[in-house]
Amino acid sequence: SMSDNKHNRTYLRGFGNEFESEALPGSLPRGQNNPQRCPRGLYAEQLSGSSFTMTRSKNLRSWLYRTMPTVDEEEFVQDDEDVFKHVATKYDHLDGNPNQLRWKPAPLAPDGTPVTFLQGLWSIAGAGDPSAKKGVAIYMYACNTSMKDAFYNSDGDLLIVPQTGSLSIRTEFGQLDVEQNEICVIPRGIVFRVEQQDSARGYMLESFQGHFCLPDLGPIGSNGLANARDFEYPTASFEEVQGDVKIYNKFCGKLFKKISHHSPFNVVAWHGNYLPFKYNLTTFCTMNTVSYDHPDPSIFTVLSCPSETAGESAVDFVIFPPRWMVAEDTFRPPYFHRNYMSEFMGMISGKYDAKVGFSAGGASLHCCMSAHGPDRETTERAEEAEMSPVKFEDGLAFMFETSAILKPTPQAMSCPFRDTQYKAMYNTHDDTSNLKTSSPQKHTTFSLIPS
């Protein structure tokens, strides 16, 4: 465990570990999960993140010991309050767009107008179907007010990337304080509430398929990239409040709600390996070439959701952190590229090393086989640059990379902060090739038809 003195929190450390925690000593049963009577009169409840028969190495579940069970007599009804008015419910009816797309920084939540995390979610692109547990959805958020209600997502795991402002996320398992340069993951089904002291803006990825895991390191060896010991998990805490609590549930793309007659944050103790967690991106151990050529961006993968196809991710979370660039006789910015995967990029802070005008809080989308690369200014500077070691420390960008073909939402295409001049940036490149010869080339025409 590790203490966070800034927020007076204690976290458990180690990706994918089996943990246990109790807010009151003697609350965890010993030797079994579900005794006839639990200590302190608590109720035992299992939360499964995988099928019962999943292989042991991928089997995810936790046991929670609560003052009241989650199940009650109240029914979920579809929300009629327009809480999710900017959230897309499905993507199969949307049109794809093969063009390069970019957005300027989204506006912050307006002063004087309370906006919670749920109300501030804004769908930008997605693909697939949560009812089939395949696909992804990408959001931006802007909020300024703590939630009083609670929320859980039946459709998939959520990966939250704060860009400005901090979030204090109360979960069934305890509290996570998440700031700029940190991320957090709330797995499918875990109830949470976002609390905050100031205005916040950021990005969120929803994966309908599987769960986030660390990428295999292959010949890199035993250490590097996101090290398992740097992932932090909450310790048990619970609230003793009386009265009704509204609980929202995103289910098959739509928002439902019900009233609970007790707080969902009533877990006094727990043990297991299906848990929310956070990670500080500044601890990422960056790998890069020390000889020549720009490596593929997969070398910067933090977390991955595997697909059924070996070697192909349903979605990856990738960062472009401060790093030394020392490649010799090499075009050092990210190369011109057409990609099988679709790439959504966001900017947490500073500036991006491949393009002018990509600002913190902004975003871009390059879908499957859509050509992209550095702008003219970056290209010319890179071609003339002296090949001495350079430390890039001007910004932190990230990428959601998915095998799905992302479809932008209508509001993303029509919003006032879409950068409609982005594609024109590529029209400034000159033909600098030197292919002219002193005499015209003679071309021979071959025929497969016998004369």
pLDDT at residue 439, as a whole number: 53
For residue 424, the SS3 value is helix
Residue 132 CB neighbours (<10 A) = 10
Mean pLDDT of 417-425: 86
362 vs 449, higher pLDDT: 362
Q: Residue 106's closest CA among 450, 443, 418?
A: 418
Q: 443: pLDDT confidence band, cut at 50, 70 and 90?
A: very low
Burial grade of 391 (CB within 10 A; 0-12, 13-18, 19 or more) = exposed
Q: Residue 103's closest CA among 128, 137, 140, 136?
A: 140
Q: 184: pLDDT confidence band, cut at 50, 70 and 90?
A: very high
pLDDT at 259 over 60: yes
pLDDT at residue 414, as a whole number: 96
Q: Which two tokens stand for residue 419?
A: 């950068």
pLDDT at residue 438, as a whole number: 54
Q: 393: pLDDT confidence band, cut at 50, 70 and 90?
A: confident
435 vs 121, higher pLDDT: 121
pLDDT at residue 333, as a whole number: 84
| Sheet of 182-186, strand order | 2-4, 9-13, 231-233, 277-280, 182-186, 157-164, 200-207, 134-143, 121-129, 407-408
Instruction: Return d(Cα 248, Cα 239) in angstroms, integer.
Output: 19
Q: Could you report the per-residue pLDDT of 298-325, keeping only the tens digit for each?
A: 999 999 999 989 889 999 999 999 999 9
pLDDT at residue 376, as a whole number: 82
Mean pLDDT of 134-150: 96
Whole-angstrom CA distances from 82 to 78, 87, 118 are: 10, 10, 10
Percent of the chain exceeding pLDDT 70 equals 93
pLDDT at residue 357, as a whole number: 67
pLDDT at residue 445, as a whole number: 45
pLDDT at residue 446, as a whole number: 45
pLDDT at residue 8, as a whole number: 77
Catalytic residue numbers read 294
Top mean pLDDT of 41-45, 421-425, 444-448 is at 41-45
pLDDT at residue 444, as a whole number: 46
Mean pLDDT of 282-295: 92
333 and 294 Cβ atoms separated by less than 8 Å: yes
Which DSSP string corresponds to 154-175? SS-EEEEEEEES-EEEEETTEE
Burial grade of 71 (CB within 10 A; 0-12, 13-18, 19 or more) = exposed
pLDDT at residue 374, as a whole number: 85
Mean pLDDT of 240-265: 93
